[in-house]
Structure 1
Amino acid sequence: MELRARDRVPELTGLLTVVALALVFGAVLGWIPERALPRAPEWVLAAIPHVNAVVSVLAIAIILAGWRAIRNGNVARHRTAMIAGLVLFATFLALYLYRVSLEGPSGFPGPAAVEQFVYFPILGIHMLLAIVCIPLLFYVLLLALTRPAGELSGTNHPRVGRVAATLWLVSFALGTVVYLLLYVLY
């Protein structure tokens, strides 16, 4: 019996999700030893949040362009945009996890009331959506990579893709608000 990726999309989605979330939680919870990573100069570490804000805004624009492309029937442009969005997401995540592994999560520098009633709720929703997006993104990506474009409309790709793109956009937007609260407003 031949096993093919196209026949194992849910299993591969689960495997990739577990690996990705293990990396995320490992970095955030400090399970990755700091000495396991080369330490960049302080100016590089300080620049990462600002670079990630730019990456987030670019990702929002690219995801919206990909969504518009598929609504207009332009599959090639949609595919290009969504792959670019995934590359931006991976770039964001790699930079974020690198910085968090070395320095830990950023503390909120503003007033306690803003932290409790504005920052934490926005951060919590952003993090929840980011976590929920991971398996959805892997699922639609694996469907797209294992099938010809003409077959995708007969799969869950369009339905799950709409949900994934919506949550992805909201997560990136809320992440940008978190950035503004941490590095611009306070």
Structure 2
Amino acid sequence: MEYVPRERVRLLTGVLSVVSLAVVFAAAGGRIPSSSVPAAPEWFLEAIPLVNAVLSAIAIGTITVGWRAIRRGEVDRHRVAMVSSFGLFVSFLALYLYRLTVTGGPQDFPGPAAIEQFVYLPILAIHILLAIVCIPLLYYALLLAFAYPVAELPKTSHARIGRIAATLWLISFSLGIVVFVLLHVVY
């Protein structure tokens, strides 16, 4: 059953990617006024980094389950795992962007300058770069899956793009957990 018109997959991927990245950069740059979102108690804002680390860990699990399922030919399990992974990613991003908007931008690194310069910032940069690259790849793989019946997916680039996206996604989520540990546990 076709959910997305096939001829619109690339266009929709582009539009969704541009809109998503614009929202992310606007929130990270403090361009979204905090008055545009409802206020939350301090305990909620403080819990978001931990919740996001847990969401990331669960997403690592669901991506891995999805990857293994498709290698075994378990298409339905793969679909459930990957859609769940995408839902976890959207939840993570919504909470992250909410916190950025309310607090006015990213959190400063509280540890020593040498650790910030040689450990934290390189890890953060790779995490952010991979997250940015993943967005259009994820949209494209997901939209292909909704545009074609399962029997026709092998004729598309779904599997090739999906492998790249899943690999980068796993690395990005893992590095995000490392960033959390450096910001909220170690320092």
TM-score by length of 2: 0.97
Instruction: Write the letter of the residue equivalent to 2:44.
Output: V
The residue aligned with 2:5 is 5
Q: CA RMSD, aligned part only?
A: 0.7
Q: Which has the higher contact order (CA 8 A, sep 6+)?
A: 2
* Structure 1 residue 80 corresponds to structure 2 residue 112: no
Distance 1:58 1:8 in 2: 31
Percent sequence identity over aligned pairs = 62
Q: Distance in 1 between matches of 2:147 and 2:38?
A: 36
In structure 2, what is the Cα distance between the partners aligned to 1:176 and 1:5? 37
Aligned positions of 1:1-186 closer than 5 A: 5-103=5-103, 104-186=105-187
TM superposition shift of 1:6: 1.1
C-alpha separation between the residues in 2 aligned to 1:59 and 1:11?
Answer: 27
Q: Secondary structure at the match of 1:30?
A: coil
CA distance in 1, matches of 2:5, 2:41: 41
Distance apart, 1:161 and its partner CA: 0.4
Partner Cα separation in structure 2 for residue 23 and residue 67 of structure 1:
29
Q: Is the 8 A contact 1:13 1:135 kept in 2?
A: yes
Question: Is the contact between residue 28 and residue 105 of structure 1 (CA under 8 Å) also seen in structure 2?
Answer: yes
Which consecutive unaligned segments of at least 5 residues does structure 1 have? none
Q: Post-superposition, which runs of at least 4 consecutive aligned residues in structure 1 deviate over 3 A? A: none
Q: Which whole-Å deviations, capped at 9, do the CAs of 1:96-154 have from their partners, x for residues lacking one?
A: 00000111211111100000000000000000000000000000000000110111111
Secondary structure in structure 1 of the residue aligned to 2:111: coil
| Alpha-carbon contact 1:5-1:12 (below 8 Å) kept | no
Amino acid at match of 2:148: R
Write the distance in 2 (CA, Å) between the matches of 1:144 and 1:77: 14
**Residue 5 of structure 1: how far off its partner (Å):** 2.1
Return the alpha-carbon distance in structure 2 between the equivalents of residues 57 and 29 of structure 1.
26
Letter in 1 for 2:135: I
Kindly provide the amino acid, as one letter, of the partner of residue 14 in structure 2.
G
Verify the 8 A CA contact 1:66 1:78 in the aligned structure 2.
yes
Mapped to 2, the partners of 1:56 and 1:112 lie a distance apart of 27
Letter in 1 for 2:38: P
Q: How many pairs were matched up?
A: 183
